[in-house]
Amino acid sequence: MTLRLGDTAPDFEQQSSTGPIRFHDWLGSSWGVLFSHPADFTPVCTTELGLTAKLQDEFAKRNVKTIALSVDTAQSHQEWIKDIDDTQAAHVGFPILADADRRVSDLYDMIHPNASETFTVRSLFVIDPKKKVRLIITYPASTGRNFDEVLRVIDSLQLTDSHSVATPGNWKRGDDVVIVPSLKDEEVLKQKFPKGYKVVRPYLRVTPQPDL
């Protein structure tokens, strides 16, 4: 199965480091970040899980739950978590799925034969409260994920879902945004953007971030 943006994230029930998880029920009304690792006790992934643990307050501010996946067993995950907590000065409290049967990996197209016939590639999915896939990033094994970018995209998605704007290149929270081209009525523009806006081109209108 090949997942694309806008698809419904597949539901599943799978064992994890914190017990059995039925994914959609576990997500509830939250956003979710699901990210995979090729195996336990790998160096880059150890740093990423530690970083994710340290960023739990930031994810919580955005109503986001995080969940990792590795093809190893829940018992192996428990041992790995001890290493992560120790080496990264962190506390991993979020679940790591035990995908030994590769059921979830297959559902989310995480096995890429050109990279490995058995291990999951390092994919990350952002899923919204309607269970729709909103972001997919696949990283090479040698490059650690940029979680500042993951948080930035979530900020953008949540902002643009609730306002008629899009975020420009390198945007971060607090920067100006652009008004979507489909919004043309002057009276509506005045109501939606009381701070005003600058017309750079008819299709390029810049306004302060509307929810600040």
Tokens of 125: 């999915």
Asked about 60 being catalytic, the answer comes back as no
In single-letter form, the type of residue at position 201 comes to R
- For the beta sheet containing 64-70, the strands, ordered from the edge strand earlier in sequence to the opposite edge, are 96-98, 64-70, 31-37, 122-127, 133-139
CATH 3.40.30.10 domain position(s) in the chain: 13-144
What is the pLDDT at residue 119?
Answer: 57
Active-site residue, from 21, 34, 45, 110: 45
Check residue 114 and give its pLDDT: 55
pLDDT at site 99: 93
pLDDT at 84: 98
Q: What is the pLDDT of residue 120?
A: 58
Given a contact cutoff of 8 angstroms between Cβ atoms, the answer to whether 133 and 125 are in contact is yes
pTM listed for this prediction: 0.93
| Residue 63 vs residues 32, 48, 60, 116: alpha-carbon distances, Å | 8, 20, 5, 34
Superfamily, domain 13-144: Glutaredoxin (3.40.30.10)
Cα gap 121→98, rounded to integer Å: 15
**What pLDDT shows up at residue 204?**
97
Q: Are 53 and 127 in contact (CB under 8 A)?
A: no
In the chain the first and final C-alpha atoms are separated, in Å, by 40
Q: Which residues in the chain come in under a pLDDT of 50?
A: 117
What pLDDT was estimated at residue 116?
Answer: 55
Q: Scanning the structure block, which residue is given the tokens 């994230």? A: 9
Q: What's the pLDDT at 1?
A: 62
Using one digit for the tens of pLDDT, what is the confidence trace for 165-177?
A: 999 999 999 999 9
Of the candidates 181, 163, 157, which has an alpha carbon nearest to the alpha carbon of residue 6? 157
Beta strand pairing call for 64-70 and 96-98: parallel
Per-residue model confidence (pLDDT) at position 111: 75
> So what's the pLDDT on residue 113?
60
